[in-house]
Structures are given as C-alpha cells and as structure tokens.
Amino acid sequence: MRLIDVKAFLEFHAGKARRNAQLLVEFNGPDLANAAYAILSHCWGQPKDEVQYTEMESLTKTDVAVRREIRKRSGYQKILKSCLQARDDRLDWLWVDTCCIDKRSSAELSEAINSMYVWYANSDRCYAYLHDMGANTLPTKPDNNKFAKFNGWPKWFSRGWTLQELIAPEDVHFFNRNWEFVTRKRKCARTLKVITRISVDALEKGLSWSYPSVAQIMSWAADRRTTREEDRAYSLLGLFGVYMPLLYGEGKNAFLRLQLEVIRMTNDQSIFAWGWTRNAGMAHSFLANDPSHFRDCSSVIRMSPSDFMVALEKSSSRKLRELASAEERFQTFTVTNHGIEIWLPLKHESCSGDSEFFSAILACCDARAQSGPVTIIIEQFRSNRSRYFGRPSVAETQMIPIEFKPILLPYRDNINLNIRGPSSKQSRFRVLVEDIIPSDSVVLYVQSADPSRDIFIPFIDSVLGNTGSGRSNVVHQ
C-alpha cells in the first residue's frame, strides 16, 4: 500500500520541501499494520483534473510552471484539503486512489481493487467529499432539481465504489463542496438508510455484526453506477469477502463470475431471490445479469435450516422432513459446467403444453412481510429449465405435497446457441426453432435482450415452406 506523507506534502505546498522529498511511501506487512492513516472517498473528475501517480511521484522534481498547472486542478485541491484535515486529526498518512495506485501496472491495479475494502476498513478516518453539495446537513429527501442525474441525491451516493467506502470504515466524516464538516456516519445512520437503503445496523456496527444476506448487499448496489461495466461487479468484491482476477473487457460476465465466487463462499440461497416480486417475463439463467435485478431484495434475509424447516412444516410431507435432515444436502450447492446443483423443496404447480411449472422454496424471507419463505417459479420446457416471473395457472385442487429434491439450475443461456462477445451488438430478437417436423405445427421461442419480453409464439405449417421440404422461411439471427 502506498501512502502520502502528510507533512511532506504540506511542506511541498508551502514551498518548503526539499527537491528530493518523498511524497509517496510504500508500506507492507507490520509497517502497514502500525500506520495510522486517513483515506479519501470521492467522485473522480475528468482524468485531466486529477493528479495521477506518475505526477505525484515526481511532483517535487518538476519545474515551477508544471507545478503551477497541477496546483490549479480540482484533484490537487482534494489532496491538499485531505492532508490539512489529516494533520488536524493528528494522522501522518493519507491514501487517495487517484495518485496512490500505479494504474500502468495491471498487477498492482488488481491487488489494489481486491484489497481496497480492507484498506478502507483499516483506516483511522475516512473523508467522504460531497463535491456537489453546499449544505451543512445531509438531505433527508430526494431533490431532483439539484441532483436530477443521480436519483435526487448527491452524486457520491450514486457511485458503485463509494458503497464499500461508506460501509467498510468505522469512522466516516462527510464534507461538503467547501470542505466544511457536515456529519459523521454513526450520527446520521437513519438518514443514510433513507438515501442508500442500507440497514442502520450495517452502518453503525458493520457487516460482521449485522450479517446481511447476499440479496440485501446486492440490493444496495442496485441503483449505483460505475464508469466501466465490469466495475459493477469488482466494486462489490470486498463486501462479500471474495477475490477474483480482473478481466476488463469481459462486460457483464464479471457479475456472473462474482456470483459464482459468492456461491463457493456461502450457501445463502437469497442469491436466487432476485426479481422475486416481478410478475411477468422469464430468464434462462438463475443468476442475475446485473445488481439492479436485486432492487426488490433490501428486506430479504436468510433463514437458518431450523427456521426454514419450521416454516415448511404445515405443507411438507414426512419424506421432505427426512431428506431435509441431511444437513449437507440442505446447506451445500455445487457449481458445475452445466449448472448449479442444489437440493430445494419443490411443488408441482401446473402444466401448459410441453412446459411444467414448479414452485421452488428458498431458505430466505421478506423480513417486513413475515409471509414465509421466498418462492420462485421454475419452468421446465423439455430438457431446459428457466426462471419464470409471475404465477402460472394453478394446478388441480388436490393437495400436492412438497418434495425435497435435487435440481440443476442453469446459470448461462443454454438455449441460445449463438456465441456473442460481451460487447457485441445484440439483435433485438433471437428466434429458435424447437424440433421442427414437416407438416406439423411448431412453437418458436422468441428471446429478447430484456428477459421480461421473452415469449412463445405458435406458428402454423406455412412458416416451414413446402410440406416435407424441411425448409423454413424463419431466419435464425
């Protein structure tokens, strides 16, 4: 970890620094553990306005004209104000992401991103700089006149990286655009909950004490944005305590990899609860495509095995209870190259043509509703399983028992045989023909970029061309 020497930087700013003064100092191991440092949390400006690592490293050696140009930048002023505040707080060191990471080194960048949550958590004080807020108090309701582009709140609350920068440090101090102190995190936890949907317990006591579910943490990131698409996932690594290599260029696959890593670390079934309140559409993956899909999960909490079984008792059979007593079956799910192997309580709901619908009961619930475990619908169409949103037509009136069974949940779109890169242009619809038999009616599955618009369309014989020819007028895009 590379830290700014607060005293050396302020001496440089005052024109008292030696030409060979070292503004950045490397810390490792025990030295880092003993270093008392402040850390800055802010929204980046344009690259030309920030002070980069190479400039900071050579700042004392540059000529007067270059120094004068750098001092005019807003990024330099953020470093200066943070150093002044650190000095007042009797902290000798400061970390600022713009200038303390050599981003030319992919290895160093990867190490920094994987370590960043810990760096913020270990800081003695975090300075959260709200550059677009002039008030001396945090807003308590959205203001779409001042912050129209950021859901009505200061921009800092809309960025992906600042989520962990709010949660990880024990002591966060907020400053407005004039660098005037506004408040501390612990004193305004209820206001922060209104702005961020993060629980008061998580804000006041941290994740290790509040123990939020996977779905809850994802929901906190639902409305946040990052410049790079991959950072939607990478900015959440520390919140889940997982590590993975950075592969810029992989697009949305980064969020898929994150979820698979989370599954390897925890058996929290709330990871499958995304979109549980939606009432239309379908998806071929049982893992979400983006954190925004967890927007309705802010109150979804995980259930212990014993609590889960109590909630199932009224509708469960003896067979269910016997199988569920095998703790390793209930608490373990495995990622394979064909899908996620998991044991779930399943109830057959209905049939529609070649499709069967099952309710799958997850070991999580809505803490506000107190209405029992969250249920998702699985549609099985021949050999393919999909996530179905909404309620299928109800099965016959007889009581259908719940069975605790193993099932394979796909986490990739196995129906779509077209292989496309993460950044390639997607067609509006992809049309797939299932087992076309000449002279028979067929069903086409039409898949759109938005899972809620996926539909089945019956086609009559005429789309197949001349009877028996095996030709089709439908173009497979």
State the DSSP string of 297-325.
GTTEEE--HHHHHHHHTTTB-HHHHHHHT
Q: What is the mean pLDDT of residues 416-433?
A: 44
Tens digit of pLDDT for each residue in 457-468? Answer: 443 333 333 333
pLDDT of residue 29: 83
Q: Is the pLDDT of residue 212 over 90?
A: yes
Burial class of residue 59 in the structure, from the number of CB atoms within 10 Å of its CB (0-12 exposed, 13-18 middle, 19+ buried): buried
Tens digit of pLDDT for each residue in 236-275? Answer: 999 999 999 999 999 999 999 999 999 999 999 999 999 9
pLDDT of residue 344: 92
pLDDT, the chain, mean: 85
Contact 182, 134 (CB under 8 A): no
Local structure of 263: helix, strand or coil: helix
Q: Is the pLDDT of residue 230 over 80?
A: yes
pLDDT of residue 322: 63
Q: What is the mean pLDDT of residues 421-445?
A: 41
Distance between the two ends of the chain, CA-based, in angstroms? Answer: 50
Q: What is the mean pLDDT of residues 66-92?
A: 97
Q: Is the pLDDT of residue 424 over 60?
A: no
Tens digit of pLDDT for each residue in 305-326? Answer: 888 888 887 666 556 666 656 5
- The model's confidence at residue 446, banded by pLDDT at 50, 70 and 90, is very low
pLDDT of residue 321: 63
Burial class of residue 475 in the structure, from the number of CB atoms within 10 Å of its CB (0-12 exposed, 13-18 middle, 19+ buried): exposed
pLDDT of residue 476: 34
pLDDT of residue 453: 45
Q: How far apart are CA 438 and CA 279, in angstroms?
A: 36
pLDDT of residue 331: 73
Q: How far apart are CA 88 and CA 80, in angstroms?
A: 12
Percent of the chain's residues with pLDDT above 90? 67
* 90 Rama sector, left if φ>0, alpha if ψ -120 to 50, beta otherwise: left
pLDDT of residue 54: 95
Tens digit of pLDDT for each residue in 179-200? Answer: 999 999 999 999 999 999 999 9
Q: Which residue has the tokens 């690592």?
A: 53
